[in-house]
Amino acid sequence: KPDRSTGGLNNINNDTTDSKDLRAKLVLLGDSGVGKSCIVLRFVRGQFDPTSKVTVGASFLSQTLALEDSTIVKFEIWDTAGQERYAALAPLYYRGAAAAVVVYDITSPESFKKAQYWVKELQKHGNPDIIMVLVGNKADLHENRHVSSQDAQEYAEKNNMVFIETSAKTADNINQVFEEIAKRLPRPTPS
Ligand code: GDP
């Protein structure tokens, strides 16, 4: 039996299922270099290792998250969808996705523009109920910030997205990204 006593912040690896348990396909989108792999690695392994690449071809990683109400969410995380060489396949990735995490780098206005491109793509081709999170990563590099939190927040609100600034390097707000998604996943209706 999974240990559910430790609250919402613990990632556990456990394959037990329960009627309350949820499964969600999640896609990461964003410019190359914004930190998508590092975010996944931080969430899945609790590490920051810029030399290690999580992305393996067109595969995905899975990670479970225990919520405070003892629901277990099993995420299937795809982080290859935004790669240029897979651009033509992108609609296949976000088909069936319950959530999309669109990442930019707070030091790069270009990456914020690219994030907006991905949001439009999702609005055109994604599931209409998709949960979208706008993530401004590399928040530890605030001295070099070129995208204001306010601009990003306003953009997110207009597009019905959750907005979070993170640092995969320091772990700031990484779990929160996945928790915000988990909270918004449709719960099965009790029978
Ligand atoms: P991806 O192409 O979007 O998957 O980006 P990566 O995860 O490979 O990261 C690109 C580079 O950004 C690497 O050199 C990471 O070390 C660096 N990086 C990723 N996240 C952060 C962060 O939160 N802070 C800082 N300072 N560097 C980061």
* pLDDT of amino acid 12: 46
Establish whether residue 76 lines the binding site of ligand 1, counting it when its CB lies within 6 angstroms of any ligand atom: no
Residue 17, pLDDT score: 53
Whether residue 47 has its Cβ less than 6 Å from ligand 1: no
Q: Is 147 in the pocket of ligand 1 (CB under 6 A)?
A: no
| pLDDT value, residue 50 | 63
ipTM: 0.99
pLDDT of residue 85: 62
Give yes or no for residue 32 CB within 6 A of ligand 1.
yes
Q: Produce one character per residue of 31-65: b if its CB has 16 or more CB atoms within 10 Å, e if not.
A: beebbbbbbbbbbbeeebeeeeebbeeeebbebbb
Asked if 102 and 29 touch (Cβ cutoff 8 Å), the reply is: yes
- pLDDT for the residue 86: 64
Which residues of the chain register pLDDT less than 50? Answer: 1-15, 56-58
pLDDT in tens, 36-58: 989 998 998 887 776 655 554 44
Tell me which amino acid residue 83 is. Q
pLDDT given at position 6: 38
Count of all residues that appear for the chain in the document: 191
> For residues 35 and 168, is the Cβ–Cβ distance under 8 A?
yes
Residues in a beta bridge with 136: 104, 165
The confidence score (pLDDT) of residue 190 equals 73
Question: Checking DSSP bridges between strand 72-78 and strand 61-66, what pairing results, if any?
Answer: antiparallel
- DSSP SS3 for 99: strand
Distance from residue 34's CA to the centre of ligand 1 (Å): 6
| Ligand 1, atom 10: closest residue by C-alpha | 33
Dihedral in degrees, nearest 10, Cα atoms 118, 119, 125, 129? 140
How far is residue 103's CA from residue 107's CA, in Å, rounded to a whole number? 12
